[in-house]
Structure 1
């Protein structure tokens, strides 16, 4: 009997050989399973908007079929004095004036740099509700939001929007410069992980990106009942993770030569911190994580790791990948309640 089974017989084979072969396979080399054609960029009329526009423009160079919508939601549509100073040519009705100002600003990053069409949408009301509404109206594949560390401005209600929306979400830190040479994908060998890997491999195909697959493992409570020391059991768990990674790659038809495998021990039960630290060590340009959404409750509540990464990571662009069709079905059911 395997020593991990001996310590945790109630887990059966789950910890050793997850039945991932029964999961629908992702053929990244045949088609892009989660295309990013329609992008919604959330603006709050603060300096981070310029970063979001520039980053999105660079991203669209690798997405030839993309279309971008810039959305700003205000509780009350009127033009503040500070905005008039930012856009001195803004005149007329507030929504039209702001749309013109946003389009003019976007032209600095899109005109003559990429052929991606774009347009501004300015609405009043509840920010979260409007963003969720327009993500459905425009059948959005990717929502882009800013990650603020020091810039002033309310920013978008990132956690709530991310938890409910059907689309994938990309968080761009303030002052981020676009670079996409290396992406880190944390994997736990689930279907959610496969979605994230599939998206990373699609980016690799489009832009020759190095993909690093990271598994964060830990020594389970009760290891001492086996008579093993912590260090010895950590080695056992790493070997088990390596075995699971091999099975995972085989199940989803991913060549080991196409990815770099990274294994990290989580000694403090803080996987988000381990992920962020490794991303910095590897000089990753983006972190891509698969979102939980297999049930109505799971679709409403993001996984704890996804939430924690929002808290600890304010430096590296971070994408949460969702199954758009499954989540749109959930959103429709939720609306009909």
Structure 2
């Protein structure tokens, strides 16, 4: 089971900060937090002296002012809900994505949490999910009122067990929360050449997938939580990310958990394109990507905005 004791929350002085802080309590069943790091990253801007000389305000707020502003917001919102949680505020300069990843490694963070704006592509989501050494939780602007249906994307690897355990932990701490394990499948190419019809092949595929579900659940302590297992047919013309998005909407899921494979970091990076494309889609539910700590790509500067 993953242990999320130290978490890192990214703040950017937008309305997204208030959304994150107001909704962190909803995410508590997913994690057993002991310490929270709040990180705000400012851009490296070079402003000519001739311009800054016109008014000191053109330089923007100082790090001290930023920290005080964030501290006041925490007192107003977060401390009322999480009085016993230890926290630190940090202000850094550079690329938000890169600083998040470097800071999380330096502080041995177990989980990175940040918001995703609906009108902005998931470049930051992709970068952090790809290079982070730990799990990532992406929170949308329009977070559901209740996280009462957890969907877990399953491929029957060991990472699926990790993802299911997250879902089980959430469901057992939230009464009336539904937990669904979903597996997307395609019919094998050329199935008609062996004499099977579409319906026969589909039936065989579903039966085999259900056996895989049964075998997987035997390896897990479900803690009394009922898990609905759903083999979902994916048309060959539809991409993984679009099919998963459609499935989540049809299920009315309020959160999705995806396990990141514990392969060699470079191989995982190359094989993770479907998940990365999925992160580009503007979802209105949180996306939890579980990762074994330490499985990460070395940071490549060219991938990040300066």
Which bracket does the TM-score occupy, shorter chain normalised? 0.7 to 0.9
Q: Secondary structure at the match of 1:111?
A: helix
> By how many angstroms is 1:230 displaced?
2.1
Over residues 138-194 of structure 1, what are the superposed CA-to-partner deviations in whole Å (9 max), with x where a residue is unaligned? 21111112222137xx98722112101111111111132452222000101111111
2: CA distance, partners of 1:252 / 1:63: 19
Separation of aligned partners in 2, 1:196 and 1:156:
23
Matched, 1:51 2:13: no
| 1:55-94 → structure 2 map (5 Å cutoff) | 55-60=23-28, 63=31, 65-76=33-44, 94=62
> Residue 131 in 1 paired to residue 97 in 2?
no
User: Of 64, 67, 80, which aligns to 1:112?
Assistant: 80
1:234 maps to which of 180, 202, 223: 202
Is contact 2:122–2:279 with CA below 8 Å preserved after alignment? no
Partner of 1:261: 229
Residues 2-41 of structure 1 aligned to structure 2 (within 5 Å)? 33-41=1-9
Residue 331 of structure 1 deviates from its aligned partner by 5.6
TM, length-normalised to structure 1: 0.76
Considering only aligned residues, what root-mean-square deviation do their CA atoms show, in Å? Answer: 2.8
Partner deviation per Cα, 1:262-314 (whole Å, 9 max, x = no partner): 12100134222222222222221100000124102134346233112212342
Matched, 1:197 2:169: no
| Matched residues, number | 285
Partner of residue 287, structure 2: 318
Separation (CA, whole Å) in 1 of partners of 2:41 and 2:153: 33
C-alpha contact 1:62 1:207 (8 A) present in aligned 2: no
Task: Give the structure-2-normalised TM-score.
Answer: 0.83
Q: Which runs of 5+ in 2 are unaligned?
A: 47-59, 300-306
Map of 1:103 onto structure 2: 71
Structure 1 CA distance for aligned equivalents of residues 153 and 183 of structure 2: 6
Match of 2:125 in 1: 158
Displacement of 1:105 in angstroms is 1.5
User: Where in structure 1 do 4 or more consecutive aligned residues deviate above 6 Å?
Assistant: none
**Pair 63,293 (structure 1): closer, same or farther in 2 beyond 3 Å:** closer
2:178 alignment partner, one of 185, 205, 210: 210
Match of 1:247 in 2: 215
**8 Å CA contact retained: 2:182, 2:232:** yes
Where does residue 141 of structure 2 map in the other structure? 174
- Contact 2:151-2:257 at 8 Å conserved across structures: yes
Relative to structure 1, is the Cα distance of residues 217 and 62 closer, same or farther in structure 2, using a 3 angstrom cutoff? closer
Contact residue 60 and residue 114 of structure 1 kept, 8 A: no
- Cα deviation for residue 104 of structure 1 reads 1.3
For residues 183 and 301 of structure 1, do their structure 2 counterparts lie closer, same or farther at Cα, with a shift above 3 Å needed? same
Preserved CA contact (<8 Å) 2:29 2:173: no
Shift of 1:257: 6.3
Distance (whole Å) between structure 1 residues aligned to residue 169 and residue 183 of structure 2: 20
**Per-residue deviation at 1:259?**
0.7
Distance 2:77 2:124 in 1: 25
Show structure 1 runs of 5+ residues with no match: 1-32, 79-91, 333-337
1:10 maps to which residue? none
- Which whole-Å CA distance do the structure 2 matches of 1:225 and 1:105 have between them? 65
